[in-house]
Structure 1
């Protein structure tokens, strides 16, 4: 009996061992594992692709889009450009000016032209929504050059004559550089109001641009790097919630110098049109501005030639010495390279100086009458 018991115990042990081996040696077939990894990878890629894709714009005048309330022209490529007129009528005007608004702004943001001053000098001014802003259609093929061509076509359709003046503020100053490059034959004169600089313009010495670039907020350094080197990632970078993106887009208080903060009460009137600025989508407006403004330009402004070699017109650049958004150091270097530009540096002044009382008359008299 003992022998039989030992045999039964041995048989049970062998059976248990076989079951244990069967359990421990279970693995997925190699083909199945590869399939799962491929599915996970494809899923991640699909998620990442969706995350970086901006939503389609809500174009004004289309089903589901914002209404059209402004006068607009239709450009040759089919896009619409919305505009607003200020001052005296075109027929009465002695001076005709096209104004180019800045970042996160629109055609309504013309703080420097009073009715009285416009009538005194005979000024007609038209401000337009740049592509993607306000009620102007986005331009998926937008370039530095395209805005200059939009300005030329606006002037032609509004009947401003063969030549006119251009004034650009902040990011609109970059469009003014483009006008000096691509349509100088259409200009009577131009004014750049604290125009945004691109740190990657090749005319800047590397040590100078790097030094000034490193003085920007860290989050803005990264935002500009993305816009320049990885433009297709700009939408995701500025909408993700993991870390701070552009301080300018977020309108953080730190971007304003003390002189700018003193002018903030004057921005109160913007509440009436604030909702219109990005109503068609942020990608076609402010994100496009970042990509174009800090991307790889088709030309370097410091290579421009004087468009008025016999002083038949003038170009002016105005800059505040306490501007935290546009470095005064780089602006000084630009005008050293382009001595034909009349440079006006305003002391104790920040980026938003066009909102200050009397400044508008000052820079318009300089442009139109040659008076300081």
Structure 2
């Protein structure tokens, strides 16, 4: 009887300790926009099918007059204002091509409501809802930068019938995607900072520890989440030329780091339902195409893996920029080149 009681006591103690550990690692509740104590709402927003709201902005000609509509998906630690394919472009460029770009805050970023059930597939539903609410038509173009490129891969998988064309700009790669030769992915993985390798292992294998890992003080968390990302010399030059808007920077993670940065990491480096390398041509229409733009000096996204993806998917139009880092799309002439290539079939 004593042995049984002792076993029960030990089990109960273990449950209490495990519960305490789990609860101590839970992220705080997000500060929701428009609610008491939360950030104020300043942007136009659309209501999605599940009741959440997405904040957005428009660049170019009015969408009701636009010949071409492009939905832009921002990167990690960015928001709707960070439209790298529109930087330095004059209004007359948009008028010449009849282009309207709709950029939006991804869930949990900026002024868009968090999505506690966010997945790669749910993001594609958000894209569809945004397009339908703004009357962008049955088909539209999709552009994604860095981590936003993964939403483009998801859209090519789940909603290819809605895409007139797509472009991925320095899209982040998941080292665990099926299809990479083991030696190639391992070599690329181990070129990262040690803290980034550990952070990605955590989000891939034990995602519920993501918030704790990136906020604890015993070991360094993700360098990218902490704003210490590895960048090239070109990246630093380009970023120094971009006006720093304090108000916009403050908006990026104003609802909390977990619902923006950390959930991004969990989805980006977690277990996917598919591998991009197993996709067949999602836009076989001769008037549409899928492009990847990549710098060969990108310190965040391995060019070796991007090249392999492009070689594996013969229907990809691959553009590699010599000497370019992760932020090459901010360079003079690059936004125009990216948009013109995306719309080439219909503007030539």
The aligned runs of 1:75-94 (5 Å cut-off) are: 75-94=48-67
**Distance (Å, rounded) in 1 between the aligned partners of 2:266 and 2:148:** 14
**Secondary structure, counterpart of 2:63 in structure 1:** coil
The aligned runs of 1:20-169 (5 Å cut-off) are: 44-113=17-86, 114=89, 115-169=91-145
Task: Write out per-residue CA displacement over residues 144-178 of structure 1, whole angstroms, 9 at most, x where no aligned residue.
Answer: 11111100110001000111000000000000001
- How many angstroms does 1:211 deviate by? 1.2
Task: Write out per-residue CA displacement over residues 249-276 of structure 1, whole angstroms, 9 at most, x where no aligned residue.
Answer: 11216x1111111112134334230111
- How many angstroms does 1:38 deviate by? 7.9
CA contact (8 A) 2:84 2:145 kept: no
**Secondary structure, counterpart of 1:202 in structure 2:** coil
**Distance (Å, rounded) in 1 between the aligned partners of 2:109 and 2:295:** 26
Residue of structure 1 in register with 2:305 after alignment: 330
**Distance (Å, rounded) in 2 between the aligned partners of 1:99 and 1:179:** 12
**Secondary structure, counterpart of 1:268 in structure 2:** coil
**Distance (Å, rounded) in 2 between the aligned partners of 1:368 and 1:362:** 10
Residue of structure 2 in register with 1:222 after alignment: 198
The aligned runs of 1:340-355 (5 Å cut-off) are: 340-355=315-330
Task: Write out per-residue CA displacement over residues 107-159 of structure 1, whole angstroms, 9 at most, x where no aligned residue.
Answer: 01113322232122111010001111011111111111111110011000100
Task: Write out per-residue CA displacement over residues 309-337 of structure 1, whole angstroms, 9 at most, x where no aligned residue.
Answer: 24120110000000000000000000111
The aligned runs of 1:229-268 (5 Å cut-off) are: 229-252=205-228, 255-268=230-243
**Which of these residues, 149, 158, 161, is aligned with residue 182 of structure 1?**
158
Aligned-residue CA RMSD (Å): 2.1
Number of corresponding residues: 343
- How many angstroms does 1:78 deviate by? 0.9
Unaligned runs of 5+ in 2: none
The aligned runs of 1:272-283 (5 Å cut-off) are: 272-283=247-258
**Distance (Å, rounded) in 2 between the aligned partners of 1:100 and 1:296:** 21
Residue of structure 1 in register with 2:171 after alignment: 195
Unaligned runs of 5+ in 1: 1-28
Task: Write out per-residue CA displacement over residues 167-204 of structure 1, whole angstroms, 9 at most, x where no aligned residue.
Answer: 00000000000111111111110000010010000111
TM-score by length of 2: 0.93
- How many angstroms does 1:286 deviate by? 0.5
Task: Write out per-residue CA displacement over residues 74-98 of structure 1, whole angstroms, 9 at most, x where no aligned residue.
Answer: 1111111110011000122111100
Task: Write out per-residue CA displacement over residues 7-57 of structure 1, whole angstroms, 9 at most, x where no aligned residue.
Answer: xxxxxxxxxxxxxxxxxxxxxx99999999789756644542232100011
Task: Write out per-residue CA displacement over residues 214-273 of structure 1, whole angstroms, 9 at most, x where no aligned residue.
Answer: 1111110000000000000000000001111101111216x1111111112134334230
**Distance (Å, rounded) in 1 between the aligned partners of 2:204 and 2:5:** 42
TM-score by length of 1: 0.87
Structure 1 pair 32–304 and aligned structure 2 pair: CA distance change class (3 A): closer
Structure 1 pair 337–111 and aligned structure 2 pair: CA distance change class (3 A): closer
**Distance (Å, rounded) in 1 between the aligned partners of 2:84 and 2:145:** 11
CA contact (8 A) 2:85 2:339 kept: no
In terms of Rg, which structure is larger?
Answer: 1
**Which of these residues, 247, 258, 262, is aligned with residue 287 of structure 1?**
262
**Distance (Å, rounded) in 2 between the aligned partners of 1:347 and 1:271:** 32
Residue of structure 2 in register with 1:9 after alignment: none
